[in-house]
Chain A
Amino acid sequence: MSKKHPVVEMRKVSRSFGFVKALDQVDLTMYDSEVLGLVGDNGAGKTTLTKILAGVYPPDKGEIFWCGKKTNFCNPREARQLGIEVVYQDLALARNVDAVANVFIGREFVKRSFWSSVFKLIDKEREKIETEKILTQLGIELPSVRTPTKYLSGGEQQMVAIARAVYSKPRVLIMDEPTTAIAVKERERLLSLIPKFKERGISTIFISHTLQEVFRVADRIVVLSKGHKVGEGNLEEMNIEKVMDLMMK
């Protein structure tokens, strides 16, 4: 897939919360099968940008284009239907239910019989098989997919969130600070997954405070500071010192 084809384009996107301008005329383009590193200090606007793309709230100004066509998705369900999935910083898991339920929230498998479709009976066996399949494909092993996720370790919970995000083969996957609050071994496992997403045709936005990690996995880097885009370039053009200077701007 050529790099020339943008999957998602944000043009002059702005968003305020009361008097606080979280994003100010930001342009962002994601190309096919690339990893975009999005960096910036706290309050730079990274999470706001994520949430706009995820459909949590719309931009106040600006336009969003999906595969060249202007779009106006206004809720998370529409964003997911388009092919945008997010692994949130706090994982957004329902910790009282198991991994299977978490992977299939909002897209439950219904049994294929007349009465089952009337009463919407969940096909739990099929969901279990599919969950185990996606976890295996990602190289993840959980003690049991039927244990409530609150009993899993932080890294295991994150794997469930990732499995949920990639199950539907999204075009764009946003990972918001995925390496905070997980152990070193789990961090390595996570970073080794990112190239696998590229192979599956998923474009990833990788948001992190740890610049070494961003430089390890990203093809291109975009720097935000106080709601503005202050820098952009591919890996050859950027280095850690330059990025840090831009972040302080």
Chain B
Amino acid sequence: MNRLILNVSLKSAFRKIFTFKEGGILLSLIIIYGVVHFLSPNFSTYFNISTIVLDISFLGMVALGETLVLIGGGIDLSIGGIAGLSGIVAGLLMVNSSIPPLACVVMGIFVGTGCGLLNALLIIKLKIHPLIVTLGTGEIFSGLVLIITKGLAIVRIPKSVYFLGQAKILGIPLPAIILIVTLIILQFILSKTVIGRRIFVLGGSEETADLLGISPAHLKFIIYSIAGTLYGFAGVVMVARLTSAQPTIGQYWILPAVAAAVIGGTSLMGGEGTLVGSIIGSAIMRILGNAIIILGISTYAERAVVGSLVIVAVFIDVVRRGVWRMR
């Protein structure tokens, strides 16, 4: 009898994890963490976890922007270009002008907003697929970074901005706190507001949105400019973390950001997605990256290892969706 009760309660606990929307992917994260923790004593140190949390903050920030774009039915491949350009402009202003450093930070972020607006404008007016537009603009923005910096980092960033990338509150890195606040705000917008619901509708069917009087153009301007702001934010905070504006900031962010969103449960087809899932996806990507270094796995094997684990994570999620659907 006791065994029966235990079986039943275990099964319902099991079911509960799997029916919670991000449950499957959270389970994967816990398993991956557990495995790496077991394999290496150096993994769960405060210093290492702190570094991972910092890495997750940057990837998570851009993944949130990408998730918003994907939910709305688009895609944004200009993450690296926007983050880089925002960081460089902020750095340049800080070092070469008398504008207060924090104002330069804000202006750098607004560069990101402007780049996002440009993406939206081109997608709407030229009616070209966002994949192609943002691939192109990403290259343009990255090219501008190289033209401005000639490949060299901008150093002597004022100390007054270091705190953005380096401060800790109650042991938690400030970028992580900024990420959590951003997550809460975006989640609120998506789940409680008219705009949020319309973004889902747009991603589900742009034609339906249009036929029912919702302006796809208006929504796309909002989506891409918010995304651009987030990428710009990440780029500028990275400058504060590195204490220099490197032309390579954001260069390798695009694939992990899209991967984090998809692992987290966001559909590439649009109309479905979860911001929390993308944060979990970012955590999975960064823990795996860290684990490969800590466990001394050959960096040649890194791509194959990460790729295999991405497939496993997505598979778990697909299975979970089957369970959830039966509810």
Contacts and interface: CB of A to CB of B under 8 A. Distances in A.
Nearest to A95: B204
B271 A108 contact: no
Contacts of B203: 96
B221 to A, nearest CB: 16
B282 to A, nearest CB: 23
Nearest to A54: B211
A121 B200 contact: no
Given A93-B205, A94-B271, A96-B271, A106 B214 contact: yes
A29 B11 CA distance: 63
Contacts of B213: 75-77, 80, 106
A88 B205 CA distance: 14
A110 B195 CA distance: 11
A56 interface: yes
Contact of A101 (B195, B201, B207, B211): B201
Given A56-B211, A76-B210, A96 B200 contact: yes
Interface string A57-89: 000000000000000000111001000001010
B192 A121 contact: yes
Given A92-B212, A119-B193, A105 B207 contact: no
Contacts, number: 67
B209 interface: yes
Nearest to A91: B208
Contacts of B194: 108, 110, 120-122
B127 interface: no
Contact of B272 (A80, A92, A96, A106): A96
Contacts of B214: 105-106
Contacts of A97: 197, 200-201, 204, 271
B325 interface: yes
Interface residues of A, number: 24
A120 B200 contact: no
Interface in B195-234: 195, 197-198, 200-201, 203-205, 207-214
Contacts of A92: 205, 207-208, 211-212
Contacts of A108: 194, 197
Interface residues of B, number: 22
Interface residues of chain B: helix, strand, loop or mixed (majority): helix
A110 B213 CA distance: 17
A88 B208 CA distance: 10
B196 to A, nearest CB: 8
Nearest to B189: A119
Contacts of A110: 194
A92 B212 CA distance: 9
A110 B204 CA distance: 22
B211 A120 contact: no
B278 to A, nearest CB: 17
Contact of A94 (B193, B195, B208, B325): B208
Contacts of A94: 200-201, 204-205, 208-209, 271
A171 to B, nearest CB: 17
B269 to A, nearest CB: 9
A121 B210 CA distance: 22
Given A101-B201, A108-B194, A93 B208 contact: yes
A97 B199 CA distance: 11
Nearest to B196: A122
A108 B214 CA distance: 11
B131 to A, nearest CB: 20
Contacts of A75: 213
Nearest to B213: A77
A122 B207 contact: no
B121 to A, nearest CB: 21
A225 to B, nearest CB: 27
Given A93-B205, A120-B193, A106 B212 contact: yes
Interface string A116-153: 00011110000000000000000000000000000100
A15 to B, nearest CB: 17
> Which residue among A94, A96, A110, A120 has the maximum number of chain B CB atoms within 10 Å of its CB?
A94
A140 B254 CA distance: 47
B212 A105 contact: yes
A94 B194 CA distance: 15
Contacts of B204: 94-97
Interface of B: 192-195, 197-198, 200-201, 203-205, 207-214, 271-272, 325
Interface of A: 54, 56, 75-77, 80, 86, 88, 92-97, 101, 105-106, 108, 110, 119-122, 151
19 contacts: A76-B211, A80-B212, A80-B213, A92-B205, A92-B207, A93-B208, A94-B205, A96-B200, A96-B203, A97-B197, A97-B200, A97-B201, A101-B201, A106-B213, A108-B197, A120-B193, A122-B194, A122-B197, A151-B325
Given A94-B200, A105-B214, 5 more contacts: A92-B205, A92-B212, A94-B205, A94-B271, A122-B192
